Amino acid sequence: MEDSPAAEPEQGLGAHKTVDKDAAEHEVISAMRVLEVYRAKKLALEPRDTVLLDTVQRLHAALERLEGVPVDLNAAARSLIEVEQSADHVRGALTGADLGISTLDAATRVRQQVGTVHEGGSVTGFRAGGAQ
């Protein structure tokens, strides 16, 4: 009995999973293109931006389909810290990020461009849990 009806649903499910995964990958690529426009043009992230919200929601759903498990975007957002600062002259203290707590699970990127640090001035890129 090679043409068993029980074998057909499994083949159908496998094909559906492949199509769903392909669709999810295309959704991620599409969302990344939209987000790249925000980054490249340095567009402000506004809470009521429906295009941005829709893009993030579609990206979230696609990531969950690809991973096969729920993805906690809040945890991911908390784990990313990005700071850019530029100063021609520093006379007091300039700190890129001072979290006051240890963030071992956070990806941190601090970029500072500083011209002159005057006497008594200090520049700190990142401080967490009291360490510099």
Structure tokens at 108: 């941190």
43 and 66, same structural domain?
Answer: yes
Assess if residue 1 is contained within a domain. no
Q: What is the pLDDT along the chain (132 residues), one digit of tens a residue?
A: 444 444 444 455 555 566 678 888 999 899 989 988 988 888 887 878 899 889 988 989 998 888 888 888 777 666 677 788 899 999 999 988 887 666 556 677 788 999 999 999 999 888 776 544
Residues 16 and 66 in one domain: yes
Note whether 24 and 54 are same-domain residues.
yes
How many separate domains does the chain show? 2
Q: Considering 24, 55, 71, which residue would you say is the last residue of a domain? A: 71
95 and 119 in a single domain? The answer is yes
Among 53, 71, 89, residue at a domain's last position: 71
